[in-house]
Amino acid sequence: MAESRLHELSARGQSVWIDYLSRDLCRSGELKRLIDEDAVVGVTSNPTIFQKAISQGDAYDGQLRELLETESEPKEIFLQLAVRDIQSALEVLAPVHEQNPEDGYVSIEVDPNFAYDTKATYDEAIRLHEWIDKPNLYVKIPGTEPGLQAIEDCIAGSHSINVTLVFSLPRYRQVVEAYLRGLERLAEDGGDLTKVRSVASFFVSRVDTETDKRLDAIGTEEALAQRGKLAIANARLAYEHYLEAFSGARWEALAAKGAFTQRCLWASTSTKNPAYRDVLYVEELIGPHTVDTMPEETIKDFQDHGEVRGDTVLEGVDEAHRLFDQLAAVGIEYDDVVDTLEKEGVQKFSDSFAELLDGVMAKRGALVAS
C-alpha cells in the first residue's frame, strides 16, 4: 500500500524530484526526510535557486571566508559554493541511485550566459562533469538551438544531461533527436550506453501564463474559453512523441545495447494562476517513465489533497491536437508563444545568475569588512 499520495504517484512510474537545493536542506536532514516521507528521488537546481539559497542566512559564510584567501573571481567563488551543495545532495541520494540507476540524480546548470554558444556550453558541461565526477550527476543544458549540438556531443561522450527550458513541441523533437544521435555516436565508438542518462525538462505552467495573458488581451468569449488549456495539451503531445520516438527499429537497436529512454521531466509545475487548482499540473500529467520536479509548496499541497486517478498524461490527446487549431482561430500564434517563453526563460536565468554573482560579492564585501 502506498505510504502517501506522492508514494502513490511513484507507484504509477512517475519519479518525484524537487526543484530546490540549499546547504541547510542537506545539513539538517530535510533532504533525507523528503526521500523517506515524500518519495523524493532527485533534485534539480538553477541560478535562481542558488541565488535564493546563498543570499539567505549565514550557511555559506564559513566557506566564503576560506575562498577569499585564494579566489577573487565571482563566478568561480559561486561554483565552489554550488558544487559543495551538489556533492552533499549527491551523497544523500547515492543509495537511491544504487537502487534505481534512473533516479537519485542531482542537476547543476551551465552558465546561462552560454545558452547561445555551443562550444562554451559544451566546455562548461564537461568541466562540471569532470569536477564533480559522480554517476548520479546531471548537467543542465538549455534546449536552445545552439544547445542542441552541445547536448548531442555530451551524450556521445557518455555524459548525462538534463535538457532544460524546453517549451515547444518542435524543439522537443529536436532535443530527442540530439539524444538519439548522441547515443548512436557513443555506440559507434564502442562506448557503454548503460552509463549515460538524460531527461528533457518540458516547462509547463509558464505556457499557460503567457497564453492566458494573450487570451485575456483578445478578450472575446471564444478566446477566454481557451484559458488554462495549452500547458497540459502541450505536455501531453510531448509525451505522445516520447512514446513514438522510443519505439521502433531505430530505438530497439539502441535499447539492445543497453540504452535508456530520455524521460520527460515536467518542470514549472506550480500553479501560477490562483483561479486554477494548486496541484493541477501534477494531477493532469501523471504517467509512466516521467519525472515531475516540484517546488516545496507543491510537494506539500499534493501530499495534502492531490489525486492520483491514473495515467492522466495519456488522456485527451485528440483534444490536445484540436486545441492548436482552436487557439489559432482566436488569434494565438503558438510558435510566437513558445519562442517568447524560450527567450524569456534564458533571460530570467541570466538575470538570476547576475544577481547571484552580485550577491556573492556583497557577502564577500561584508565578510571582508567584518
Compute CA 202 distance to the chain's CA centroid, rounded to the nearest angstrom: 7
The CA distance from 43 to 126, in Å, is 20
The CA distance from 322 to 66, in Å, is 58
> What residues are labeled active site?
140
The CA distance from 273 to 228, in Å, is 9
